[in-house]
Amino acid sequence: MGSRRGRPGALVGLLALATALVPAPSAGPAVAAERAAAPPAGLAVPDLVRVGLATDLESLTLPCCGSDLRAQAGATQVALVEPFVVEPAARGGRGVYRLQVAALKDEAQARELAAQLASAHGEAVDVVFDAAIDLYRVRFGRYAERAAAEEASRRLAALGIRGAFAVTEPSAAVLEGLRVTQGADSWRVRGRWVALWSRSDAGVRLASGHYRGRILVYLNDRGSLNLINELPLEDYLRGVVPREMGPELYDDLDALKAQAVAARSYAVRNFGEFAAEGYDICATPRCQVYGGRGAEHSLSDRAVAETAGEILVYDGRPADALYSSTCGGHTEDVRVVFPLKDEPYLRAVPCFEAGLTELEGDLAAGAPFPDGLTRRLLPATAGGGAPALAERLRRLALDAGLVQPAGEPASLGRRDLTRYVASWLDLALEAELFVSDPDVSYALGRVPEGWSRQELHLAAYLARLGVLDGPLDEEPGAAEIERSLLALAMLLQVVTSVEGRFAAVADGVLTIRVGDELVRFEIPGRLATFRGRAGALRAAPLALVAGDRLELYSRAGALAAVVQVVGAEGAAFDRTSRFSSWRRFRSDRELGELVGATHPGFPFRELEVLERGR
Length of the chain: 614
Q: Is 529 among the domain residues?
A: no
Considering the domain architecture, whether residues 114 and 184 belong to the same structural domain is answered as no
Considering the domain architecture, whether residues 118 and 196 belong to the same structural domain is answered as no
pLDDT band at 31 (very low <50, low <70, confident <90, very high): very low
Structurally, the chain folds into a number of domains equal to 3
Considering the domain architecture, whether residues 67 and 117 belong to the same structural domain is answered as no
DSSP, collapsed to helix, strand or coil, labels residue 344 as coil
The mean per-residue pLDDT over the stretch 366-382 comes to: 91
Inter-residue contact 27 to 213 (CB < 8 Å) = no
Inter-residue contact 160 to 146 (CB < 8 Å) = no
pLDDT at 382: 64
Q: Is 556 among the domain residues?
A: no
Select from 297, 279, 300, 292 the least CA-distant residue to 211.
292
Considering the domain architecture, whether residues 480 and 390 belong to the same structural domain is answered as yes
The mean per-residue pLDDT over the stretch 535-562 comes to: 93
Considering the domain architecture, whether residues 102 and 80 belong to the same structural domain is answered as no
Q: Residues 6 or more apart from 298 whose CB is under 8 A from it?
A: none
Considering 441, 475, 491, which residue would you say is the last residue of a domain?
491
Q: Is 160 among the domain residues?
A: yes
Q: Is the pTM of this model over 0.85?
A: no
Considering the domain architecture, whether residues 132 and 193 belong to the same structural domain is answered as no
Select from 4, 16, 70 the least CA-distant residue to 43.
16
Q: Is 358 among the domain residues?
A: no
Considering the domain architecture, whether residues 461 and 387 belong to the same structural domain is answered as yes
Q: Is 85 among the domain residues?
A: yes
Considering the domain architecture, whether residues 110 and 168 belong to the same structural domain is answered as yes
Share above pLDDT 70 across residues of the chain, in percent, rounded to a whole number: 87
Inter-residue contact 519 to 538 (CB < 8 Å) = no
Q: What's 185's DSSP letter?
A: E
pLDDT at 201: 86
Considering the domain architecture, whether residues 108 and 215 belong to the same structural domain is answered as no
Considering the domain architecture, whether residues 69 and 81 belong to the same structural domain is answered as yes
CATH of the domain at 128: 3.30.70.1070
Q: Is 208 among the domain residues?
A: yes
Q: Is 480 among the domain residues?
A: yes
Select from 189, 187, 186, 239 the least CA-distant residue to 216.
189
Q: Is 578 among the domain residues?
A: no
Considering the domain architecture, whether residues 392 and 477 belong to the same structural domain is answered as yes
Per the prediction, the chain carries an average pLDDT of 84
> Residue 198, exposed/middle/buried by CB under 10 A (0-12, 13-18, 19+)?
buried
Q: Name, of 139-143, 162-166, 566-570, the range with top average pLDDT.
A: 139-143
243-261 pLDDT, tens digit each:
998 888 778 899 999 999 9
Considering the domain architecture, whether residues 141 and 199 belong to the same structural domain is answered as no
pLDDT at 164: 85
Give Dmax over CA atoms of the chain in angstroms.
102
The mean per-residue pLDDT over the stretch 313-342 comes to: 83
The lowest-confidence range among 290-294, 336-340, 604-608 is 336-340
Does 161 have pLDDT greater than 50? yes
Considering 491, 522, 546, which residue would you say is the last residue of a domain?
491
Considering 174, 202, 228, which residue would you say is the last residue of a domain?
174
The whole domain housing 442 covers: 379-491
